[in-house]
Structure 1
């Protein structure tokens, strides 16, 4: 077995490990609100999220193609495949390392930001062309807009719910929205698979292009299936630390607020993935939606101290992952053939 094939297999395995860590890191995104309002039990919620993550990953490849387009890996000469594969591996190391750090401390940072930061950091360190137009228009702008839309959309939806059910009995409303949350949580899980599994698909295709095993024009079905399986298994393994932060520490959720947050966040994920092919952060979107639905009660109902810590993590994730990826690349280059 030649060195290039060994490196390709290694990078693909590491990419699937990232996909798995994405699943357990971001499992809370889909189900924290439903679990915290007791609409679903944790195990039922995790099983549902895992199944729908898998299904969502099969619904498109537009986001994967956007991820492929961030750096021009195909411009690296064919006789330097080891260098090209080291660039992809360094991007993954940056993303996985930052994911594990934030998971350990229970911080709901963005796996999407971490991966994109890793790709850009490795690309800059290796002097590989970065498509800044794609990075700005299809990545940076949607990543900034999606949490803002999530906050405002959830605020508007929750305001409508409060007005529509203003004369209804609170206990009856809560029961109804617990049932509704089963649907909204399912939608959120499907959207999570649609968005996040595709990011791993894009990285695997980059590795195949770097090794000379693909031209990047399409995403092979085995790549789609492997990424879908990895994120589903990761989701089922849980994400309890982050679930506590999203479900309890930001705001005291009730079923209507949980429904408003989930329904809004899921809608944003679908529009961004299918309409714009933009890789947005599921973490940012659902966290902002939770804050938006809670702000309808009063602004002080949101625990802004916790939210401030989360926002700080959002800001530093891309540069931190980029720095780790760059360091990984520089550490690996002395050993290249």
Structure 2
């Protein structure tokens, strides 16, 4: 077995480990609202979410379209600067930041940690090879413009849709008692939670597919960028397994501390979040499920009164979001530097 093949297998393993941690870290996004409203127990909720995380693989098998994977794998970093070791350093940076924020219970974006780490490692390589003045040669500007735009747009869209859905629900059930409303929405929230978990799997699993396909191209095992069936299957299995394990520190933040939720609010938050994720997924743009569901939950809380949302906590979450890209990039750059020192080549 060649050294290159061993390295590629190691990176695929690390990529799937990141996907697992992504599901583990983002389990709160999929289950926090349905647990907070007591529609399902925590165990039932993670099984429900994991099933629909995995079910999101079906359309990829049928159509072969993996736009998000292509954007992450080849649309944000110049492939000529990508080597297996660059990808390994990027993954290590993303995993380190995910674990740090999980420990502190901060619902940051695994997606942005991944793309930040990937970019940081590529930038470090260019800095060593071509000098600091040329580091942005590693970046595909167009891909970053779209992604950065949706960093802002996605949570705002989730918030606006949730707010609108709450107005529609209150108007439609204006003659019903709150108890009757909750009885209806306890059933409907099963559907909304399934839809959100599906959208989570559809967008987030593709990011790891893009990384795996990228390393196969960089190592010469693929002549052109494409996502094979085994990559689709393994990425969805890893994220579903991670969701099954669950990240309960973040569930508490998302489902209880940000605002208080009832079944009708949970339904609106999950439905709005799913729609706000599926739209950019269709466009092939990676977005943060964490950002979107946080915005949607805040939109639900704001319909009662602005003070119903704990804006101090929301501010802390926002700071964690803003730090994710540069922090993951910095950790990945450090990893790339250590590889340079101890391995001696890229």
Q: Which runs of 4+ in 1 moved over 2 A?
A: 57-60
**2: distance between equivalents of 1:125 and 1:319?**
13
**2: distance between equivalents of 1:38 and 1:101?**
29
CA contact (8 A) 1:58 1:225 kept: no
Q: Give the aligned partner of residue 241 of structure 1.
A: 249
CA contact (8 A) 2:217 2:225 kept: no
Q: Give the aligned partner of residue 79 of structure 1.
A: none
CA contact (8 A) 1:151 1:289 kept: yes
Q: Give the aligned partner of residue 18 of structure 2.
A: 18
**2: distance between equivalents of 1:59 and 1:328?**
36
Is the partner of 1:336 in helix, strand or coil?
coil
Is the partner of 1:173 in helix, strand or coil?
helix
**2: distance between equivalents of 1:215 and 1:28?**
38
Q: Give the aligned partner of residue 46 of structure 2.
A: 46
Give the Å deviation of 1:58. Answer: 3.7
CA contact (8 A) 1:58 1:224 kept: no
Give the Å deviation of 1:51. Answer: 1.0
**1: distance between equivalents of 2:21 and 2:255?**
20
Is the partner of 2:83 in helix, strand or coil?
helix
Is the partner of 1:295 in helix, strand or coil?
helix
> Per-residue CA shift, 1:244-285, capped at 9, x if unaligned?
1100000011111111100000011111102x1110000000
**2: distance between equivalents of 1:189 and 1:100?**
22
What 5-or-longer segments of structure 1 have no aligned partner? 77-82
**2: distance between equivalents of 1:319 and 1:16?**
23
What pairs with 1:170-189 in structure 2 (closer than 5 Å)?
Answer: 170-189=178-197
Q: Give the aligned partner of residue 222 of structure 1.
A: 230
**2: distance between equivalents of 1:103 and 1:97?**
10
Give the Å deviation of 1:72. Answer: 2.0
Q: Give the aligned partner of residue 283 of structure 1.
A: 290
Q: Which moved more, 1:210-219 or 1:179-188?
A: 210-219
**2: distance between equivalents of 1:130 and 1:183?**
40
Out of 115, 130, 134, the position equivalent to 2:139 is 130
What pairs with 1:190-269 in structure 2 (closer than 5 Å)?
Answer: 190-269=198-277
The answer to whether structure 1 residue 2 and structure 2 residue 2 are counterparts is yes
What 5-or-longer segments of structure 2 have no aligned partner? 61-65, 127-136
Q: Give the aligned partner of residue 78 of structure 2.
A: 72
What pairs with 1:34-183 in structure 2 (closer than 5 Å)?
Answer: 34-60=34-60, 61-68=66-73, 69-73=75-79, 75-76=80-81, 84-127=83-126, 129-137=138-146, 139-183=147-191
Give the Å deviation of 1:14. Answer: 0.2
> Per-residue CA shift, 1:169-199, capped at 9, x if unaligned?
1101011011110000000010010011000
C-alpha RMSD of the superposition? 1.2
Q: Which moved more, 1:15-24 or 1:162-171?
A: 162-171
Q: Given the two structures, how large is their TM-score scaled by the length of structure 2? A: 0.93
**2: distance between equivalents of 1:201 and 1:102?**
23
Give the Å deviation of 1:165. Answer: 1.3
Q: Given the two structures, how large is their TM-score scaled by the length of structure 1? A: 0.95
Give the Å deviation of 1:215. Answer: 2.6
